[in-house]
Every structure is written in structure tokens, then in C-alpha cells.
Amino acid sequence: MTSSILRFSNDAEISQAIETCRQTYKAGYTRPLKFRRHQLEQLWRLLDDNVEQIIDAIYKDLHKHRNETCLGELFPSKEEINDALEHLEEWAKDEYIEPSLINKYGVTCLVRKEPKGAALIVSPWNYPVFLTFGPLAGAMAAGCTAVVKPSELAPHTAKLLTELFPRYLDSRAYIIVNGAAHETTKLLEHKWDHIFYTGNGTVAKIIMKAASQHLTPLTLELGGKSPAVIDENANMLVAARRIAFGKTFNAGQTCVAPDYLLLTQKGEEKFIPVFKKVLIEMFGTNPQNSPDYARVINNRHWHRLMKVLNENQSGEVVIGGQSDEKDLYIAPTVVLNVDREDKLMEDEIFGPLLPVIRVADVDDAIEYINSKDDPLSLYIFSDNKKFSKKVIDHTRSGAVSVNECLLHVTEGHLPFGGIGSSGMGNYHGKKSFDAFTHERSAMIKTTNPVFEAALAVRYAPYTKNNLRLARVFLESVPRFKRNFVWRHIKWIVIALIFGIGYKRLA
Ligand code: NAD
């Protein structure tokens, strides 16, 4: 199948891509750090050499302003690659472990960081570059090969990446497969060593079911309704500006966009007028005319959003509400006094609609958050540490951010991922490397007869004395039970063991 812009891969190409990736991994091409480093450098060059083409493709797909593409796609992708380049040797080196007493001498214990193998990366349309390059940088750094399946809903970007990949990257190791559900289903029929999926929860269940057939490990980066709790005494100007940024960036089509607000009536009275003013400052009185405001990805999502807005039985649109189907435009829209059970509060909004739920106090806000699925992010706006701590201590979410929106995603050293229905596993920085790495434990022992004698207590024929001696080494004593005599008696026992061992082996 083919969309008007993007040619989808056929079954033969899909099988070939999988086979190539698997064979390349088996041949060991991607293992040497020199190879990984070179490919990461090439990935960085791909982005750096083609900035204008990437900005243009994403604009065609999402009407994203170049600043948004730089801030939300290019800069964070380059950061991820650069971080991997900076730390590759450190992340990939063997980790030596201090052995326990029984293995103290004549043994080396270490954790080898081995690539998991051939990985499948399935990415979504909303940040079509960052959400492809982020996981790919992790797979490359870890020494994996990868088949990448970009979203067909951002076809200009997928097409551009399909052209650029073979020009910059080793085509034996990193291959793009294009397509929609049929092509992804084909990919999922095969055995992978890791699947990294970013997208919605419904497809995540399909992916997980397919992965379970081969017991393939998974990373699932999903979404959810991320709340923003605003203290009625918060700095409303700062809160309004940061929430406006979080909700209008990519027209709200961000997995960590604030989905809804929780405010007391007093808080609403303070926040709403400031928010209105801030939106005008950012996009003028008619955001449709602003070059800085993105559009909804496609007709289906536009209708989905309008349906949710129109079927909303409660609440009052106090800001925005305008829309234009031909332009896929929906204004930043605030709906006040939304009923807790209303349509707007059912699924993740993933667009520029912002319902406000009125709460009695912070306890009421916490209770409401906890009545819903675990969100990917939780935002708190307050200068009162007790307020923030209370919300953080009594809720769960993939991440929490105080007095900020979205930016925790750009901090490469903070693990990024969900909990419960918002996802499984995490990545960014070293965590991306870890996601594609198998930590292989290794114990390497000497055959020296002295150490063999010391360990002879484990061999049959079993005796009570051997068990007593083994206990000393194998059954650790908790700190509260340790005393001076116990600590010193161990050395006496060591001497005894050596004596008995020698006697037995003689
Ligand atoms: P999407 O429609 O582009 O789908 C994601 C991928 O799944 C695509 O590559 C698509 O081809 C594939 N796919 C679609 N239907 C399929 C099927 N039936 N079988 C197999 N594969 C299929 O993107 P989306 O899911 O609409 O993305 C939006 C969702 O993703 C939101 O819920 C958002 O919160 C979440 N998201 C999460 C993150 C994160 O990092 N946690 C980032 C972005 C988006």
C-alpha cells in the first residue's frame, strides 16, 4: 500500500530488512565501539546537514514553526546523540563487582554490557524526529541493529528520513520500513530482541501481545491525562505562561502536555484572566493567523477533538472554541467548570483543549488524580513547598514537575517513561543505552588448588560440619545481629576451612 506521499514497504522488503538486521547483528559488525561511535556521529551529521529539509518536512506534516522543530525535535535529538558520544566508553565498559565473602579470592565478578541484538523501533507522528532519533541513538550506542518504523501519519518526515538514512548510516544495520497497521503487524510477526514502541495505549496492547509470542522485552512509551494542579496562591503569571507553552506547543499534541487543570474557585478567578492575556501575547487575538501556532495532524484527529468538545455536556468555553476544518485549526480552548465524569475527562485530549476541574482544596485534587489512570506527567504550580510535597507524596505518575511544563523531557539525565497505563520502561541519556543493553553477569574463577580446597565444603558427601561452615559464608548476618565476636570468628572459620579442605583433598 502507498499513501500519496509515502511509499509503504512491501512484504518482501520487510522480510529482507529484518533478515539483514539480524544477520548484521550476528556477524558482530555493530559491536565494536568504533563502529557505534561512527554511526552516532553520522546520525548527528544527518540532522545537522539537513536542518532546513527537516524543518520543511515537519512543517508540511504538522505546521510546526521552525522554533518548535528546533526546540522539540532537533536540539533534544542532538543532545541524546551527543550524550551517547560523550559517555559511550564509560557506559559500555565492564562493571566490576565486589564479590561476597565466599567469592572474595580467586574470582572476578563483572557485568558485561552486551547489545540485546536486533531491535524494532516504532515511532509516532507528533515528534517524528525526536521520538525516532532518541531511541535509535540508544540502540546504536548499545551496539544493536534496528529496523525503524516511522509513523505514516507524518509522511513528509518519514519520506525524508527514508531518503537520508542510507546516505548517512550503515544500511546493513539501520533500516527504515514504512507503512501503517498492516506493515507493523508484519514486522511484529517476527522475533525481535527488543521492541521500543512510542504511541497510544490501544496499539501498545497489540504490540505487547505480539511480543509475548516470542517473550521479547519491551519499552512502551505511552500517554495519558497529565494533570496540572495550581495552588490558588501560586505565581499566576508564571503558571499561565508555562501552561500556555505546554498546551500550545505542537497544538497540544504532546504526550506530556498538561491535559487538564485542577483549581479552586478562587484560583480560577485569578488564573483565567491571566491565561487569556498570556495567550493573546503569544498568538494575538486570532491564533489562526499566527505563524507560531501548529495545526492538528489530520482530519480524523480534528474530528475526534471537535466531537469531544461538542459532546461535552458541562462546562463553559471561556477562551477560544473557534475551529476551521479545512485548515485543521482548533484555537487554544479553555473549558471551565467541567464535570468530573464528562466526555472531556475520559481519554487523553492530545490537542489544544484545556478543561478545568474545580476542586475544594488540595486533598480533593489529589483524590481526583488518584481516581484516574496513572498519568505520564504531573504538574504542580506552587511556591509553597508543603503544597507540592503533599501532592507529590500522595500521587503516582511517570514524572512530576513543579512550576514547569514539558521541560523535564529535555533533561537527558532524568529517566523518561510512564507508570501503569502511561508506559513501561524508560529512556534518555544512559537509560536509552540501558534499554537496548543486556547486562550479562560473568564470574571468572581460578582453578588454583588453594581456592578449590577452600570451597570443597560444598561437595558431597554432605556433612553437618560442611553445612555449618558453608553457613558462615553463604548466610549473611543482618547488621542488627552482628557483634564483635561474630566479626572475628569468621577469620577463625576461614582458617578451619582451609585446614579441612586440604585434609580432604590430600
Ligand atoms: P501513531 O498513530 O503514529 O501510532 C504510533 C505507531 O503505531 C505508528 O508507527 C503506527 O504506524 C503504529 N500503529 C498504528 N496502528 C497500529 C496497529 N493497529 N498495529 C500496529 N501498529 C500500529 O501515533 P499515536 O499512537 O496516535 O500517538 C499518539 C499517542 O502516543 C498519544 O497517546 C501520546 O500520548 C503517545 N505518545 C507518547 C510519547 C511518549 O514518549 N511517552 C510520545 C509521543 C506520543
User: What ligand 1 atom has the least distance to the C-alpha of 154?
Assistant: 3
252 Ramachandran zone, left/alpha/beta (phi>0; psi -120 to 50): left
In order, the DSSP letters of 377-431 are: EEEEE-S-HHHHHHHHHT---SEEEES-SSGGGG-TTS-B---GGGEES-BSTHH
Residue keyed to cell 531511541: 135
User: What ligand 1 atom has the least distance to the C-alpha of 223?
Assistant: 34
User: Which segments of 251-360 does DSSP mark as H helices, in order?
Assistant: 265-283, 299-310
Cβ–ligand 1 contact at 115 (below 6 Å):
no
Asked whether the beta carbons of 405 and 379 are under 8 A apart, the reply is yes
Separation between Cα atoms, residue 417 and residue 432, nearest integer Å: 11
Spot the catalytic one: 79, 183, 221, 348. 221
CATH architecture of the domain with residue range 227-411:
3-Layer(aba) Sandwich (3.40)
Tens-digit pLDDT string for the chain (506 aa): 557 899 999 999 999 999 999 999 999 999 999 999 999 999 999 999 999 999 999 999 999 999 999 999 999 999 999 999 999 999 999 999 988 766 777 889 999 999 999 999 999 999 999 999 999 999 999 999 999 999 999 999 999 999 999 999 999 999 999 999 999 999 999 999 999 999 999 999 999 999 999 999 999 999 999 999 999 999 999 999 999 999 999 999 999 999 999 999 999 999 999 999 999 999 999 999 999 999 999 999 999 999 999 987 789 999 999 999 999 999 999 999 999 999 999 999 999 999 999 999 999 999 999 999 999 999 999 999 999 999 999 999 999 999 999 999 999 899 999 999 999 999 999 999 999 999 999 999 989 888 888 788 889 999 998 888 888 777 777 777 777 666 676 677 777 777 777 777 66
Cβ–ligand 1 contact at 155 (below 6 Å):
no
Q: Which three cell numbers stand for residue 134?
A: 532518541
Angle value at C-alpha 438, between 14 and 72, nearest 5 degrees: 65
Burial class (CB in 10 A: 0-12, 13-18, 19+), 307: exposed
Q: Separation of 178 CA from ligand 1 center, angstroms?
A: 14
Measured CA to CA in angstroms, residue 379 lies from 230, 282, 300, 397, 400 at distances of: 8, 21, 29, 10, 6
Residue keyed to cell 516511522: 150
Q: Whose CA is nearest to atom 1 of ligand 1?
A: 124
The domains of the chain are located at: 29-222+430-440, 227-411, 448-505
Output the CATH code of domain 29-222+430-440: 3.40.605.10
pLDDT of residue 69: 97
Query: Known catalytic residue: 255?
Result: yes
Q: Separation of 46 CA from ligand 1 center, angstroms?
A: 24
